[in-house]
Structure 1
Amino acid sequence: MNKKKIIAAAAAFGVAASLFAVASPANAEPVSNGPVVVGSDTLQDVMNALANGTTTTGSAVRSSAGSAFAASFDATGSVTVQTKSGGPRFGRPNGSGDGVRALSRSIDGQPYTSATPGSPTNVTITGQVDIARSSSGATVVANGPLLYIPFGRDALSYAHSGGANAAFDNIDQATLKGIFECTITQVGGVTVVPVIPQSGSGTRADFISKAGIGTLGACVRVGQEHDTEFLADGTTPFPANAITPMSAAQWVAQNTGAGIDRRGAGVKIGSPIAGTPAVTGTGASMVPNAAFYANSTWGRDTYIVVENARVTSGDPKYDANLARLVSNAANQFANTASVLPTQAGSVKKKFGFLAPSTTTPFRAALRA
């Protein structure tokens, strides 16, 4: 279990003052009993902020589903979760792929097994998940049962513990490919340690695709995405001279204090594009570099995923409250405007996300 995760002790049922009682929006478990959100670590902290309520923009912002609020579960923490009162305990969905798979099994009723080590196998979780966080898209299927709704623009780079060795700051795409295939073993005259996020991570899948990695080599170690303190077991320190995929938005949030700080001592963010850093500024003043986010290879849109029928007016399964929650209204999950501090888009910007390249949703198949 990751040492940085803390189980929230308080619940917010019916207590008005609790709507914005949490100074930091990053809680390991939800504080309310509305629609259930699981999946991507990349979107976890900002979705927690919107679900639990935040004043990070200077104004109170909280997304709502009618009179209820979303219950956003972290990607890591306890091995199992119980998402709804009276529901089964099942393996915690860890990562985009695992989250979309859990949503799919919640829809089709087929048995679900989480990628989280030690999870119970083949659990029926019908109706236990309403929304999946995803840092990657999917193949468009015109009449698919899932709807991918653009959430925000992120960019994928890498973090490293190479210290003052400047060679670690700019590692190009071809070199990254060789490092993770273990055909390149040194950077700047020292042995490099490649660390890939856990199975089920959208960031892992994206990085492998963007870097053109064929087969991960035997030298690659497994970490938890966006954690540069520990490897996947939560206790082994992140190695020296290591590199790992890193969401630029997550790096911004961890530096500004908006999100959970999982930075190891001396770890930096690099860039695979010479002369174009992933972020600019330092500390609380760090912001995304729009030029890096716009890059056709390393930039990426992120999504919230729902069952299409439940947000389609006129469908027998239509859920007006869920549809409202994932809409682009000012304080709701899909809002991308960042002009006013009362808008969800302004919250996303504080967490390192820019407006997505498109606001048009698309449909996709259930995930096997």
Structure 2
Amino acid sequence: MRTMRLTAAMVAAAVVSGTLALASPASADPTPAGTFRQLVGVGSDTTQDVLNALAGDIVNGKSYAATAVKAGNAGIASYDAFAPDAATSTIQTRPGGPAFLRPNGSGPGRTALSMSLTGDKFPSSTGVAIKGQVDFARSSGGPSTSGTTLTYIPFARDAVGVAVRGSALDTLTVDQLHDIYTAGDTRLKVLNGQTLHAVLPQAGSGTRKFFLAAIGLTETTVSSEIPTVQENQANAALTQDGALVPFSVGSWIAQNNGIAPDYSKAAVAAGAHLAGVQLPGDTGVSSPVTTVNGKLTPVAGYFENATFGRDVYNVVPSRAIDPAGIFFDKALYDVFVTSGTHEAGLATDTAEKVIADFGFLNESYNGSINPARHAKLGGLEVSGVDVNTPAKPALKATTGDASLKLTWTAPTPAPALPVTDYRVTLTGSDGAVVAVKDVPAGTTSYSFTGLALGTYTASVSAANLNGAGSAATWTGSVKYTSSVKATAATTAYGKTPKVSIAVTGSHGVVPSGKVTVKDGTTTLGTGNLDSSGRVGISLSTHLKVATHTLTVSYGGSTKLNTSSTTVKLTITKATPSVGTTAPASISHNSGAKVGVKVTATGTTPTGTVRVYEGSHVIATGTLSGGKVTLTLPKLKAGKHTMHVWYLGSSTVNSRNGANFTIKST
């Protein structure tokens, strides 16, 4: 990935040169006041302004009514995370509905959406029951809980930068940020002669959560001494030289370009800007923004960086975007979901121009509900909620004249969260779905009539707010079906990963034919089954370091249908070896030369090495072809024990070399 590399002075100039005199901040709940719309959203401060604009409201004095995103007559009602003059104000989202505390941030927004589904009181038992009051949550981060209740639909790319005041903080590293914000006596308090005044966004902020993770901290390891302010408000955070605070780059761009309400004008006038950051694995400084025609624009390399780049999401109930379900909300689907030939209202050219105007990058996966294309799934974000899905119903099938009647009894024991509906599915002998029907929780039977003669499989599963439970199934006659099993061992980068596959067929048929392994839409390898229905497929030695969910597909044969499964393949960083060569002795008037060679199977390590004497760094170098020669500073007379530390890279682990000794005479 290409990144823009700038000097510290250029970083500051590129940011400051794009600042404009802006209008006073203003809250932008649905306008005019008292307006109610069908699709209610709350949550993230980072995306509130762009969602307000996409809703067609007035943002920073400009009306976006002409480009409002709607589904039929259903419009978006986006409620701000905070009100400038009344941070604890309440909102009312439905005519005659309850007034409840304004959800301030991604976490509270997702909690409000969850409680809108469960009927719990928001934000706690002393609050107000808000069942049915929220349809989606704005979120600048992914799920905090596992599950499938909520679908996180990406709609743009943002990045987290560090807003700073003072030239001493023009450039920063991840290690420095970690040390500035970490808890304990080792916290970095002075940098480049400047006393530091670290600030964080408020609790529940998605930007706060993302930033802490990016620099290797959590809420339990960050310093409790650090004050908090409303996120993306430099005026409140950067009140003195040496102050710094994580900041949505998209929000910074929108504020400085006069697009969004400006909560940073005073700070920018006093010299506040976004620092350049040395990204992990890079040797130069990457600026989050650049200036084009007097306006700030994103630097794509920074936004796409895995450490500081992030997707921003609209979070919706999964069941509301399931077209086969009884809870399907077509308006919500039409506004947010891109699937097949269906394009989300938020993914049109008109909408994406608005998204770009507010400082975000548009991505091809806008509206995706596929986890392989940046969508995520999460559970209810309600403290203490039971996370179990219902057990299998007890199923009975009765065949008739070209018909099939299914009857069932509710799962036992009853789940803590009650059953909301049942899904009935009928498939043919080739595995194709003949019909799918969702029925309300009180229904315990369903009949299919007018069926063609053949073999069918029926299944019934009960669902609650946590998702569908295990299905009870019945099969009248199954022949010529196949199933795939696959295993993949954890493999280090640079070594050849292998997927071992076994395909089995019913009725004693031994499968033959082709098997394909894919990661998303990318084909990683193919192979032909042997006479026992097995094959091992070797993959590239340079797959990304990550846990890959691979799809293994059997293409079928003249006697067997197609089938597929998924298998997780974990690619770990390669383990390096660090070798050093150094003179046994040297004059104290000379600088010793230390040769460092870092090797790893199947790859040539890149990155930085450091020479330590005790806990002190005395030399630093960058590998070229896995090697580097470092010249040490002059050593005081005596014996010096040192070692080399290789910092690692995106594909190779860090590692210490063996101690070596140089005698200075």
TM-score, scaled to structure 1: 0.82
CA contact (8 A) 2:336 2:344 kept: no
Question: Which runs of 5 or more structure 2 residues have no equivalent in the other structure?
Answer: 1-23, 279-283, 383-665
Picking from 143, 154, 159, the partner of 2:158 is 154
CA contact (8 A) 1:155 1:249 kept: yes
Structure 1 position 275, deviation (Å): 2.2
Whether 2:361 is the aligned partner of 1:354: answer yes
Q: Indicate how the Cα distance of structure 1 residues 190 and 74 shifts in structure 2: closer, same or farther if over 3 A, else same.
A: same
- State the match for 2:71 in structure 1: 65
Structure 1 position 319, deviation (Å): 1.4
Percent identity, please.
Answer: 35
Picking from 200, 203, 213, the partner of 2:204 is 200
SS of equivalent residue, structure 2 residue 116:
helix
- State the match for 1:290 in structure 2: 300
Whether 2:229 is the aligned partner of 1:223: answer yes
Q: Indicate how the Cα distance of structure 1 residues 177 and 112 shifts in structure 2: closer, same or farther if over 3 A, else same.
A: same
Structure 1 position 53, deviation (Å): 5.0
CA distance in structure 1 between the aligned counterparts of 2:255 and 2:29, rounded to whole angstroms: 23
Q: Indicate how the Cα distance of structure 1 residues 70 and 230 shifts in structure 2: closer, same or farther if over 3 A, else same.
A: same
- State the match for 1:35 in structure 2: 39
Partner amino acid for 1:351? F
Partner amino acid for 1:145? T
CA contact (8 A) 2:334 2:344 kept: no
- State the match for 1:318 in structure 2: 328
CA distance in structure 2 between the aligned counterparts of 1:109 and 1:243, rounded to whole angstroms: 40
Higher Rg of the two aligned structures: 2
Picking from 342, 345, 352, the partner of 1:332 is 345
- State the match for 1:96 in structure 2: 106
Q: Indicate how the Cα distance of structure 1 residues 8 and 349 shifts in structure 2: closer, same or farther if over 3 A, else same.
A: closer
Residues 223-273 of structure 1: CA distance to partner in whole angstroms, max 9, x if unpaired?
110001125xxxxx7343210001111111111111111112321011322
CA contact (8 A) 2:30 2:78 kept: no
More deviation, 82-91/194-203: 82-91
- State the match for 2:116 in structure 1: 106
CA contact (8 A) 1:196 1:204 kept: yes
SS of equivalent residue, structure 1 residue 225:
coil
Q: Indicate how the Cα distance of structure 1 residues 282 and 30 shifts in structure 2: closer, same or farther if over 3 A, else same.
A: farther
- State the match for 1:176 in structure 2: 177
Structure 1 position 9, deviation (Å): 9.7
CA distance in structure 1 between the aligned counterparts of 2:313 and 2:225, rounded to whole angstroms: 32
- State the match for 2:274 in structure 1: 269
Q: Indicate how the Cα distance of structure 1 residues 54 and 86 shifts in structure 2: closer, same or farther if over 3 A, else same.
A: closer
CA contact (8 A) 2:36 2:94 kept: no
CA distance in structure 1 between the aligned counterparts of 2:205 and 2:114, rounded to whole angstroms: 16
- State the match for 2:245 in structure 1: 244
Aligned residue pairs: how many?
A: 330
SS of equivalent residue, structure 2 residue 110:
helix
SS of equivalent residue, structure 1 residue 209:
helix
What's the RMSD between the two structures over aligned residues? 2.8
Residues 144-174 of structure 1: CA distance to partner in whole angstroms, max 9, x if unpaired?
1111111101111110122xx2x31111111
Question: Which runs of 5 or more structure 1 residues have no equivalent in the other structure?
Answer: 13-28, 115-119, 232-236
Q: Indicate how the Cα distance of structure 1 residues 287 and 10 shifts in structure 2: closer, same or farther if over 3 A, else same.
A: closer
Residues 270-323 of structure 1: CA distance to partner in whole angstroms, max 9, x if unpaired?
132242100001785211000111111111111000111112112111111122
- State the match for 2:217 in structure 1: 213
CA distance in structure 2 between the aligned counterparts of 1:318 and 1:230, rounded to whole angstroms: 43
CA contact (8 A) 2:36 2:95 kept: no
SS of equivalent residue, structure 1 residue 52:
coil
Structure 1 position 325, deviation (Å): 1.8
Picking from 191, 198, 202, the partner of 2:195 is 191
Residues 54-91 of structure 1: CA distance to partner in whole angstroms, max 9, x if unpaired?
79899941111321321111110142211211111211
Structure 1 position 185, deviation (Å): 0.1
Q: Indicate how the Cα distance of structure 1 residues 352 and 109 shifts in structure 2: closer, same or farther if over 3 A, else same.
A: same
Structure 1 position 97, deviation (Å): 0.7
Q: Indicate how the Cα distance of structure 1 residues 73 and 8 shifts in structure 2: closer, same or farther if over 3 A, else same.
A: closer
More deviation, 58-67/265-274: 58-67
